Amino acid sequence: MELQTKEKEGFRTIKQFEVDRTNFSVQVGFEPYSPVAVSFPEIEAKEYRVVFHNQLKEDLQIKQIRLSGIPIIERYAEKTLAKVSQGTLPEWNHYLWDVQPELKNFTVATPQQIRDISEYMLPDGTLAWDVPEGKWIIMRTGMALTGVQNGPASPEGTGLEVDKMNKEHIAAHFDGFLGEIIKRIPAEDRRSW
């Protein structure tokens, strides 16, 4: 795809990028229809054009195209593994991304400006907080299961994926699988551990 702007001489390409949303199985990302987020340099124009190069010769189905002046993390769906390689194995460069353009006229919150106001949240989800003067963005975040089953796996090992960022959960997972194998190997024969 290409994002172009109209100028006196005609349209000029601002950015070329690839969109691959051909596999909608949750095995290749827990958000099958995740958005494609692309960042481009600061530019002002009255007319924009998006050019599609459909190499698959299949019907394209575009739900929405939105241009915004608000910065967004490019390819955030891929970077959070909400959408991963569309094939069985990724190409060597699938998880390498270009440096995102920095915007000069946009400020972001510094870590010192961020406040955890969880203590003010009531059981019903409402907030009881005496808000200080100023402009605030309140964001509630959390974690949830993706519902994706692991595989291939033995029947005993089939189930939801383990939270690999949780030390206790990954230790239990390791002990339950590789730990059982290690226990069966005589100590003198354990050369890899």
Instruction: Delimit the domains of the chain by residue range.
Output: 1-89+96-105
- Count how many residues are written for the chain: 193
Along the 193 residues of the chain, how does pLDDT read in single tens digits? 999 999 999 999 999 998 888 888 888 888 888 999 999 888 889 999 999 887 777 777 888 999 988 888 999 999 988 898 888 788 888 889 888 877 777 777 788 989 999 999 999 999 999 999 998 999 988 888 888 888 788 888 888 888 888 999 999 989 988 899 999 999 999 887 6
pLDDT for position 86: 84
pLDDT of residue 107: 72
Burial code (b: 16+ CB inside 10 Å, e: under 16) for 48-80 equals: eeeeeeeeeeeeeeeeeeeeeeeeeebbebbee
Q: How far apart are CA 68 and CA 110, in angstroms?
A: 22
